[in-house]
Amino acid sequence: MADPTASTPPVPAASLALTPPAGLSSAQVAERRSRGLTNAGGERTSRSVAEILRANIFTRFNLILGVLLAVILVVGEPQDALFGIVLVTNALIGIGQELRAKRTLDRLAVLSAPRVRVIRDGAPAEIAVEELVADDLVGLRAGDQLVADGVVRDSASLQADESLLTGESEPVDKRAGDRLLSGSFVVAGSGDYQATGVGAEAYARKLAALLVISQLHTQENRQEAATSTVAALVGMVPQGLVLLTSVAFGAAAVALARRRVLVQQLPAVEGLARVDVVCLDKTGTLTDGTITFDSLIRLDDRAPAEAALGALADDENRNATLAAIGQAFPPPPGWARQDGVPFSSARKWSAASFAGHGAWVLGAPEMVLPGGQDGLLSRAADLAASGRRVLVLASAPGPLDGQALPPGLHAVAFIVFAERLRSDAPDTIGYFAAQGVAVKVISGDSPRTVAAVAARAGVPRAGDPVDARDLPEDPGRLGAVLEERSVFGRVTPQQKESMVTALQSRGHTVAMTGDGVNDVLALKLADIGVAMGSGAPATKAVAELVLLDNRFATLPGVVAEGRRVTANIERVANLFITKTVWATLLAVAAGAALLPYPFLPRHLTIIDTLAIGVPAFFLALAPNRRRYLPGFVGRVLRFAGPAGLIIAAATFSAYALARARGLPLTEQRTAATLVTLILSLTVLALLAMPLTWRRIVLLIAALAGFALLFPVPAVRTFYALELPHGAIGSTLLIAALGAAALAGFWALSPSARPRTGLGVRE
């Protein structure tokens, strides 16, 4: 496939059947739908039902256990096939949990679904993305993401960013006849285009499409050999770990959905726990996003500042700032717009020229005022220090010259705007500080404005802001500045990207919040992108999470949910991996000593159910406020290795002692099962610290469940259990010594504890 981004020449008029300005008629839309020329591409927030079934049934663990189950059913006893119930139950629970999460996420996704503006039957309309058809006329504004390929029909200084497709960071000017690619987004200006490549023919979609221990000589018959081999292998498989991980992630997605947080990628839940830096904008995050006109400070009494402001605000594609100006200054008569330059986060100014009134520029004083006006810049900085946004209105006698500032600019007035601090911002910032999460306020406004607002919100080190125009370009030096400072003003979109990558290069996990088109690339690069529900369609398209209620105060709960899930998964991972270690070591020891395996599969089902599976399910969904520390895998291995070794040694000792005393094989295996169960419950108690009354009840219930297997002879026979008469005292003594060894290991090896924070209690 040829790369359509290599060049984007204008499309000859003869090669394209132009849709009339009135758009397609209803009949033409219906005809294209009948031919399948729609934009339905199958995108969805969650997996399909078929994918959920496949993912939970056809797993590696299920394949291994399924083969072992088949072996037992052919040559063994039905009692030893009980682990098959666990196999089926795991799959059913996983399917049920994912279907529940799917229903919740799909309902929530409807609220955040993108829509496009089209012209049909001569009237504008908003439709769902999948309802777009070939040749539809689509309107574009800053912040829109293109959902189909097309050709520009009309452009008002339209600029598109194609970096998500091509890697080219500079926005591209788009004029009538130029090609537009799906997946790119509008950064400035406005216009409309005719959709040509929809559905599977869109460029972005085409890009995505490319882009066993043998014991035969120690057993009396092959049936016993097969049963022992299956028992050894079943013990090594951490059957419920993948299930509980999926359940925990799915439950977290549902819990976040109740807080009106749309999780667009489930792995983002785990990523939330690792976040240690949050980068956020001032407007719409620390403040409530509303901008109101505060005052006009004249610098030239002779200039028609009010009329010029009203004329500049008389723009159908005006941003929030111009909308606030428009509410204060009505459009003046006799000001006919001739040309214009739309606002850009990179330029930080907008302009327009009017017949008989010259050119007028509105923007950041530092970017608009020519050199040699230090007095005015100092005055603007003093106004900004109060936390208000300050823009300068300047005029020039001549016309605009492309997208450069016109010569001869003369400052006419300062326009001051007020923003309201969110009432919950200080508590949110305080939460992040207590959790060890650094906050970096990154804004395009004046550093002194940003600093004043950040200080009111309680951001640490807010009194020492940085002007981003002075930041070094070298990633190493930039990272050092970011470590030391917290507030940055006059930041360009490209600098936001550089800041994210510089922090990541220093080992940080970065969450980026944003709502404007200038945040898109930084959101894409961040480990976790968080978009506001009212944000630009492009920001919501690239973010992993969408805060549908637009509340900054939701973020602490989002991070806490990620940390709860990860901390609990670490707990249950230790249970399952410890079991894998002792089961493997026992298999090796029994094979080396030419002894039967110490368990039958039904014995392992008892241990799995009472000491690992059921308790792990409760632990995976329990509250947990522990802080996250990196090194998850290392901590699991440092704990599971020694703990599994202690359990294996104690179990084999009890098994060997019962065998040495000439006890029947059933009693030998019961001794091994009893020791393993007690020590597995000891591991459970250590991992569940601090012990609440609910967890104590859980431990007692597990012991009681094992004890209830013995009074009824039929139950004992079914599970092949018989207390080791004459060795019960030594068996319990070995179990007690093993428990003491586990407790001593826990106390003396803090680095091996599966903890996610120090000194933080649940």
Q: Are 547 and 539 in contact (CB under 8 A)?
A: no
Judged against a pLDDT cut of 80, whether residue 196 lies above it is answered with yes
Judged against a pLDDT cut of 70, whether residue 222 lies above it is answered with no
Three-class SS of residue 147? coil
Judge if the upstream peptide bond of residue 690 is cis by omega within 30 degrees of 0: yes
Burial state string for 654-692 with b = 16 or more CB within 10 A and e = fewer than 16? bbbbbbeeebeebbbbbbbbbbbbbbbbbbbbbbbeeee
Q: What does the alpha-carbon distance between residue 338 and residue 18 come to, in Å, rounded to a whole number?
A: 27
Q: What does the alpha-carbon distance between residue 489 and residue 6 come to, in Å, rounded to a whole number?
A: 35
Active site residue 173: no
Q: Which residue has the higher pLDDT, 588 or 51?
A: 588
pLDDT at 580: 82
Judged against a pLDDT cut of 60, whether residue 486 lies above it is answered with yes
Q: Are 601 and 231 in contact (CB under 8 A)?
A: yes
What does DSSP say about strands 337-341 and 438-442: parallel, antiparallel, or unpaired? Answer: unpaired
Query: Where does 533-624 show beta strands of DSSP type E?
Result: 545-547
Judged against a pLDDT cut of 60, whether residue 273 lies above it is answered with yes
Taking CB atoms within 8 Å and a gap of at least 24, the contacts of 344-347 are: 344/159, 344/171, 344/187, 344/188, 345/187, 345/444, 345/492, 345/493, 345/516, 345/517, 345/518, 346/171, 346/492, 346/493, 346/494, 347/403
Q: What does the alpha-carbon distance between residue 632 and residue 80 come to, in Å, rounded to a whole number?
A: 35
List CB contacts of 707: < 8 A, sequence separation 6 or more.
Answer: none
Residue 445 φ then ψ, to 5°: -80, 175
Judged against a pLDDT cut of 70, whether residue 94 lies above it is answered with no
Lowest-pLDDT range of 156-165, 573-582, 672-681: 156-165
Question: Among candidates 280, 346, 225, which has minimal Cα distance to 552?
Answer: 280
Judged against a pLDDT cut of 50, whether residue 219 lies above it is answered with no
Three-class SS of residue 427? helix
Judged against a pLDDT cut of 90, whether residue 348 lies above it is answered with no
- Domain made up of 276-508: CATH architecture: 3-Layer(aba) Sandwich (3.40)
Mean pLDDT of 424-438: 87
What confidence tier does 623 reach under pLDDT thresholds 50, 70, 90? Answer: low
Q: What does the alpha-carbon distance between residue 522 and residue 510 come to, in Å, rounded to a whole number?
A: 10
Q: Please tell me which residue in 178, 281, 445, 608 is annotated as part of the active site.
A: 281
What confidence tier does 621 reach under pLDDT thresholds 50, 70, 90? Answer: confident
Judged against a pLDDT cut of 80, whether residue 291 lies above it is answered with yes
Q: Which residue has the higher pLDDT, 134 or 538?
A: 134
Judged against a pLDDT cut of 70, whether residue 3 lies above it is answered with no
Q: Tell me the three-class secondary structure of 379-407, residue by residue.
A: HHHHHHCCCCEEEEEEEECCCCECCECCC
- Hey, where are the domains in the chain? 13-35+114-210, 218-253+561-752, 276-508
- The percent of the chain in helix, strand and coil, each rounded to the nearest 5, is 50, 15, 30
Give the DSSP H/E element, type plus range, for residue 181. none
Q: What does the alpha-carbon distance between residue 33 and residue 572 come to, in Å, rounded to a whole number?
A: 51
pLDDT at 675: 92
Q: Which residue has the higher pLDDT, 245 or 529?
A: 529
Which amino acid is residue 319, in one-letter code? N
Judged against a pLDDT cut of 80, whether residue 432 lies above it is answered with yes
From first CA to last CA, the distance across the chain in angstroms is 56
Burial state string for 220-238 with b = 16 or more CB within 10 A and e = fewer than 16? eeeebbbbbbbbbbbbbbb
- For a pLDDT cut of 70, what percent of the chain falls above it? 78
Q: What does the alpha-carbon distance between residue 5 and residue 544 come to, in Å, rounded to a whole number?
A: 26
Instruction: Dump the DSSP string for 344-361.
Output: -TTT-EEEEEETTTEEEE
Q: Domain 13-35+114-210: state its class.
A: mainly beta
Mean pLDDT of 334-344: 86
Q: Are 437 and 276 in contact (CB under 8 A)?
A: yes
What confidence tier does 223 reach under pLDDT thresholds 50, 70, 90? Answer: very low
Q: What does the alpha-carbon distance between residue 551 and residue 549 come to, in Å, rounded to a whole number?
A: 5
Q: Are 30 and 36 in contact (CB under 8 A)?
A: no
What confidence tier does 704 reach under pLDDT thresholds 50, 70, 90? Answer: confident
- For a pLDDT cut of 90, what percent of the chain falls above it? 15
Q: What does the alpha-carbon distance between residue 134 and residue 144 come to, in Å, rounded to a whole number?
A: 19
Judged against a pLDDT cut of 70, whether residue 388 lies above it is answered with yes
Which amino acid is residue 360, in one-letter code? W
CATH number of 218-253+561-752: 1.20.1110.10
Lowest-pLDDT range of 76-80, 136-140, 444-448: 76-80
